[in-house]
């Protein structure tokens, strides 16, 4: 799911991103009010896609049991501002729910960390991608 999320983000495709979330999903970015439900998530993602460039995500930890799963890790993204772009790092916690054989994002918390001022590609442990 994270690989699909990153691919859709790179394509600036809010509709494709939205398909990865459940109808009643919740996203929390920083200090913002939670975006609840697909319409609120669509608005939030569209705004974020305008402000950010490439996003890299890593899997630092994951677990699944039955129909629920969780992934946490680091992310790196380019923020576009009035004075140019800056590389930001942060953390994500993504909770997934399974329907049949597919997984969707039920809730997601993304928190920015310190501004590194430089581009850094972060990959998952062991160099392979999954999710």
Cβ proximity of 76 and 88 under 8 Å: yes
Q: What are the structural domain ranges in the chain?
A: 2-114
Please write the tens of the pLDDT for every residue from 68-125: 999 999 988 887 777 777 888 889 999 999 998 999 999 999 988 765 444 434 344 4
Domain 2-114: top CATH class: alpha beta
Beta bridge pairs of residue 110: 29, 92
Q: What is the pLDDT of residue 38?
A: 92
Q: What is the C-alpha separation between 47 and 33, in angstroms, rounded?
A: 14
20 CA to centre of own chain: 10
Angle made by CA atoms 62, 59, 95, in degrees to the nearest 5: 50
69 or 131, which is more confident?
Answer: 69
* Predicted pLDDT of residue 109: 94
pLDDT (tens digit per residue) in 36-70: 999 999 999 888 888 887 888 889 999 999 999 99
Q: Given this model, what pLDDT does residue 129 score? A: 45
Model pTM score: 0.79
For residue 123, which of 91, 78, 67, 75 has the smallest C-alpha distance?
A: 75
């Amino acid at each position: 799911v994270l690989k699909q999320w990153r691919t859709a983000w790179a394509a600036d495709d809010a509709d494709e991103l939205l398909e990865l979330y459940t109808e009643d999903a919740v996203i929390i970015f920083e200090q913002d009010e939670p975006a609840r439900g697909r319409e609120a998530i669509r608005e939030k993602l569209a705004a974020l896609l305008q402000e950010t460039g490439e996003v890299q995500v890593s899997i630092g930890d994951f677990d699944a049991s039955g129909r629920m799963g969780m992934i946490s890790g680091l992310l790196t993204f380019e923020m576009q501002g009035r004075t140019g772009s800056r590389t930001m790092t942060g953390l994500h916690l993504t909770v997934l729910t399974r329907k049949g054989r597919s997984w969707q994002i039920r809730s997601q918390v993304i928190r920015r960390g310190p501004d590194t001022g430089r581009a850094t590609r972060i990959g998952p442990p062991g160099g392979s991608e999954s999710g």
